[in-house]
Structure 1
């Protein structure tokens, strides 16, 4: 794949996860300071770069949400994953352990590896690179030694899987540290060459090293196995401020809004709306339908509808946001409430469809009665336009709506 580094923006998602306490086999987060010192453009292979860190996440749905949002980006995607792998004995599936994972809660507190594979297989071949440095629990190690770790066609995979360390010892992500150290020194050789160097430096002798390029035949150590279908679960996206999880931290280094609105301004309105819907779904599941977080994403959708030249939809969404804020007992003179109603009113004025303007007029009047706003005569202006729309012939009504 040829990348025009001057125009393409890339995304790097860094996931460092391991169970807390006695269940930990690897000090996964110890590599993050070294990776954080690497220029983002090196991590993504592009001049413009977005870097997102997940440090000891506890919820598999949250991790899946971040992966899904990253996988939806059009540019090159690089995932750096360090942690430990376990085997679910009931379904015989590999899982990436998270902060709250225990042997008895694995199926509910760890990330199924096939979730990751299912998200990445939807991307254009040749645009995705996954670099892993993980340790396998004893049961997972036996399976991985014979079947490898699958991610599917079109994805470059480099990395290291090590067997479980001796009892009461915790290993380190030495492979990823070796890569990051080379990058920090100013050297940036091809990833295949850098992989060979790191593999020679880090060992151990019985480690399983993965080196699969989308143009190459998979090596036995990383042979492809069937990827089970993802369970039908709707996760939800990354928040503007990541959720606080007791004893853990999640760092979103980039606010998603600039990227979403840049997508909309570029004319890719469906893509911007899809990304926003993911984030809104996350807010709804995490904080509830009437939460400020959910209302925030409702207002984002309203503004995106404006940019898509859909004033009717924008008006509806701004009214819904205003009503949601009033339902939270925010006073009518709250700037956020007034702003939502003012924007709904403005979008209603922009409507060119007389029928839609007549339909949306009454709920706007109702809102204006509660939220008159700071400009005198606002509700009277709505009444006047409604009367005009109802009394004028269709052609003249269209002119009045303009």
Structure 2
């Protein structure tokens, strides 16, 4: 590993040759403090002080590993997506009857629902980003938030009992508000200094799955029409982003305590998503056969393609030569200069984290940097 990653700088802008998705395993200090807050033993500001210290240490560790982009590990979040949603105007967290099922493992029974028209105003994660930006120094501070399509998916698709509330006269009005909300979010994060924003989205994993596509069709939802709707929503949401703000999307098939919820290659959505979404890059899960082969990448235009070839679901370290061989295979479909490397997902999409150790986590990051340095010399 190196302390200065010259390889990532060869692109000059994100995503970088060696990159990562965002979340890291929560340290014991943060886990303990969050439990103390839950038990009303400490105040929210006392928790924040603990999180601040853990994030400063995390950022330094990322720098030492040779990453150009650094995140706060999502240390202040319980969920990768619900915490952001709950900070929007018109959205509230709810307790559900049961958690979401990930290959036999259940999440906490929580979700979000509409409580009023959706909008973006004074979001608490702006403060979180400002702290990260202050720690990043010359490195790029990367912000991760769930995508606008994911908000609609959680509200109106995953919730099979969803009914349009009276304050929305049509689904079009809801989608317009979601797009406007995200335009406001991008503007606010940009003004806070963010130049690298990642939209996380597992709805595309569902749309890649033959089983889940059939389930949607059985409910009268056309998967192809939904894919088109979501690409249009994402494009509307990012339409006003400044030229020097990179917006990428991370797509995976679920990540909760090293489990997953869907399988299927990208082909069902590739032409619509890769061919029409006006993003700067895609982080794509490719660590197992569940993601299919590289052939759908033929629909890419000029976006950077970050291959998620290193698994965060297991502590077993991948063989570097095998990873290089897979990159060479992908380069037969997409030019090598458009490719980058990362883990397939974060290490801790929820506060519970995946089933590997912190030492194994950092070996994975080190492997990504080392392989990237050996390929993009």
- With the shorter chain as reference, the TM-score category is under 0.3
TM (norm. structure 2) is 0.28
TM (norm. structure 1) is 0.26
If asked which structure has higher relative contact order (CA below 8 Å, sep 6+), I would say 2
